[in-house]
Amino acid sequence: MTTDPRTDPQVLAAARAWGAADPDPATRAELAALVEAAAADDAAARAELADRFSGTLQFGTAGLRAALGAGPMRMNRVVVLRAAAGLAAHVLAVQTPAGDAAGSARRPRAVVGYDARHGSEVFARDTAAVFTAAGLETLLLPAPLPTPVLAWAVRALEAEVGVMVTASHNPPADNGYKVYLGGRAVEPAARGCQIVAPHDRMIAERIAAVGPVEDIPRAQDGWTVLPASVEQDYLDAVLPAVVTAAAGAERPLRVVLTPLHGVGGRTTTEALRRAGLADVHVVPEQAEPDPDFPTVAFPNPEEPGALDLALATARAVGADLVLANDPDADRVAVAVPVPGADVEDSAQGWRMLRGDEVGALLGHAAAARCAGREGAVFANSIVSSRLLGRIAAAAGIAHQETLTGFKWIARVPGLAFGYEEALGYCVAPEVVRDKDGISAAVAVAVLADELRAQGRTLLDVLDDLALAHGLYATDQLSIRVADLGRIPVMAAALRDAPPAALGGSEVVEVADLAAPGTGLPPTEGLRLLTADGTRVIVRPSGTEPKLKCYLEVVAPVAGRAGLPAARAEAQERLGRIRAELEAALGL
């Protein structure tokens, strides 16, 4: 519950004190107007001010992410300066002593990147100024660039810490602060990965201990802006992991690409060109970075309507494949043409592949590359399809399930391929220890081109996988709430009174993922398994006010002729399970 500034003068006093210390004239003016309106009894201003000063934006494993604006519960320069100071103190405290080749100790190194959202470059430069003043050797990316470039740079430049200022696919009003550790700050297997516990807690404690923002030392200069060639250096490193044919080999596949107004357009286009895919049509209305994302309701390729312009372009140019990066290009969506206008899942001849389908395709291709490789491991999150485990087992490759998020997938020892269902794929883990929508886009396009040369398609490979392993079909039920308190209530109701059956099959296991004995670190969520292999996982979203239900059914396939019937059965069962879950959750 927020506090009403009419009855708590401390909120007004805190807001005035914040404004006096705020180095940003824009947020300072915004806050002054809000305080004036609240003091004059404006109800909306009172509510907004109370919300902004209801606490402090909490630093977690995802770093920081919130709407832009003044106050401790928003993303702004004060919050970023304090975060940078606390993060620098943490890095200085945890790094292990080491010397360079000459035997002299080197300063801990930081790399800072940013996207093209409102405020991103200013936040990045503030971070560089604080890091430099704290004694870190600080390297700043030269322009708004994709998150995978920053993730690569942390490993390639042996940095102890990396910061990417981005809110990825969030709405235009948001920004965020993503943190990677590396070098001497973490163990070798975690270098270049996003943070996990206990680092999140330790960093949060350091941030809380930072004094007044006006006392945080900030260097006027002294950091290094990396050369523009850093983008090509990233491509030099990542492309050999996904393109095995002779460099420059021409591939006739026609591709439509959209960066959704983000920063991935140039880099992904160049990556495709260098892989031999020169026939690339970038959606013109979405080609250039624009922090307002004017052509989409949400800049998230998973959202309905986000690919409308890309699909229209594909139909106009006769494309073979559609690729859509999210705004910071760490994810990629894939759409393919579907033969026949009467195909049920065809939207005017095109279908967007689910993340699990793309994960299976890339896993199948990776299994061929990893044949005979000692110690190779495939990994995906517990909410992703179990099909990857079947693909790995058939190829004699170890497989591991992890908690949700690439911070866990990327840490798997021996990782050769990893993915999560939310369109995140890691096809070059030795180069980028995070999801990378650029290298994944190239991997998908190269696979599609090779299949085209054989008279086959990505859908044909999905059919082959269904025949070999059974038809694994997935779906999601997302329940957005206005009151976060509803989420644990709904989860508890399901835990205390789970359905006896789902999709016509008896529920044989209900596992509390927060309890010991699951084989994974405790996490909020429930897993339900049925006698016929159906799996449902229910968990709170880590980034949005949602309760998410992940559904998977496995349908047997009676030969190639039985594929349509198996698909119809799977979709019918998924529909029934969705309805049963909605009833069990009281919706």
Query: 364: burial class by Cβ within 10 Å (0-12, 13-18, 19+)?
Result: buried
Residues 26 and 69 in one domain: no
Residues 324 and 372 in one domain: no
- The confidence band for 101, taking pLDDT boundaries of 50, 70 and 90, is very low
The last residue of a domain, from among 351, 373, 398: 351
Task: Evaluate if residue 97 carries a pLDDT over 70.
Answer: no
Residues 141 and 222 in one domain: yes
Q: Can you give the pLDDT at residue 248?
A: 56
Residues 33, 179: Cα–Cα separation, whole Å: 33
The answer to whether the CB of 185 falls within 8 A of the CB of 95 is: yes
Task: Evaluate if residue 503 carries a pLDDT over 60.
Answer: yes
Instruction: For the chain, give the percent of residues with pLDDT over 90.
Output: 83
The last residue of a domain, from among 36, 54, 72: 54
Number of domains forming the structure of the chain: 5
For 449-500, write each residue's pLDDT tens digit.
Answer: 999 999 999 999 999 999 999 999 999 999 888 787 888 888 888 888 899 9
Question: 285 — phi, psi (to 5°)?
Answer: -70, -15
Is 445 inside a domain boundary? no
Q: Can you give the pLDDT at residue 545?
A: 80
Look up 168 and say whether it is catalytic. yes
Residues 514 and 573 in one domain: yes
- The confidence band for 7, taking pLDDT boundaries of 50, 70 and 90, is very low
Residues 544, 525: Cα–Cα separation, whole Å: 15
Is 245 inside a domain boundary? no
Residues 220 and 105 in one domain: yes
Is 179 inside a domain boundary? yes
**Beta-bridge partner residues of 257:** 282, 323
Residues 372, 397: Cα–Cα separation, whole Å: 9
Given the residues 168, 384, 385, 439, the one annotated as active site: 168
Full domain range(s) for residue 6: 1-54
Q: Can you give the pLDDT at residue 373?
A: 87
Task: Evaluate if residue 157 carries a pLDDT over 70.
Answer: yes
Task: Evaluate if residue 246 carries a pLDDT over 60.
Answer: no
Compute the average pLDDT of residues 180-189: 93
Compute the average pLDDT of residues 182-190: 92
Residues 337 and 415 in one domain: no
Question: 186 — phi, psi (to 5°)?
Answer: -145, 170
Nearest Cα to 427, choosing from 410, 402, 450? 410
- The confidence band for 543, taking pLDDT boundaries of 50, 70 and 90, is low
For 411-458, write each residue's pLDDT tens digit.
Answer: 999 999 999 999 999 999 999 999 999 999 999 999 999 999 999 999
Query: 519: burial class by Cβ within 10 Å (0-12, 13-18, 19+)?
Result: exposed
pTM: 0.94
Is 444 inside a domain boundary? no
Residues 55, 14: Cα–Cα separation, whole Å: 11
The answer to whether the CB of 557 falls within 8 A of the CB of 470 is: yes
Which domain CATH number covers 499?
3.30.310
The last residue of a domain, from among 412, 435, 458: 435
Structural tokens at position 332: 């990629």
Residues 553 and 493 in one domain: yes
Question: 277 — phi, psi (to 5°)?
Answer: -100, 85
Compute the average pLDDT of residues 74-103: 84
Residues 300, 141: Cα–Cα separation, whole Å: 24
Residues 88 and 195 in one domain: yes
Task: Evaluate if residue 535 carries a pLDDT over 60.
Answer: yes
* Start-end of H helices in 239-344: 265-274, 308-317
Residues 365 and 267 in one domain: no
Is 546 inside a domain boundary? yes
Q: Can you give the pLDDT at residue 541?
A: 81
- The confidence band for 3, taking pLDDT boundaries of 50, 70 and 90, is very low
Residues 123 and 216 in one domain: yes
The answer to whether the CB of 16 falls within 8 A of the CB of 35 is: yes
Is 293 inside a domain boundary? yes
Residues 571, 554: Cα–Cα separation, whole Å: 10
Cα distances from 218 to residues 25, 174, 178, in angstroms, run 18, 25, 21
Residues 332 and 368 in one domain: no
Residues 154, 203: Cα–Cα separation, whole Å: 18
Is 460 inside a domain boundary? no
Residues 482, 410: Cα–Cα separation, whole Å: 33
Residues 550 and 423 in one domain: no
| Mean predicted lDDT score pLDDT of the chain | 93
Residues 461, 391: Cα–Cα separation, whole Å: 12
Query: 100: burial class by Cβ within 10 Å (0-12, 13-18, 19+)?
Result: exposed
Is 242 inside a domain boundary? no
Nearest Cα to 143, choosing from 290, 322, 309, 263? 263
Q: Can you give the pLDDT at residue 245?
A: 61
For 291-347, write each residue's pLDDT tens digit.
Answer: 999 999 999 999 989 999 999 999 999 999 999 999 999 999 999 999 874 434 445
For 563-581, write each residue's pLDDT tens digit.
Answer: 999 999 999 999 999 999 9
Q: Which stretch of DSSP H or E encloses residue 145? A: none
**Bond prior to 198 in cis (omega within 30° of 0):** yes
Q: Can you give the pLDDT at residue 72?
A: 98
Which domain CATH number covers 305?
3.40.120.10
With a CB cutoff of 8 Å and minimum separation 6, the contacts of 503 are 530, 532, 534, 553, 573, 574, 576, 577, 580
For 34-81, write each residue's pLDDT tens digit.
Answer: 999 999 989 999 999 999 999 999 998 889 999 999 999 999 999 999
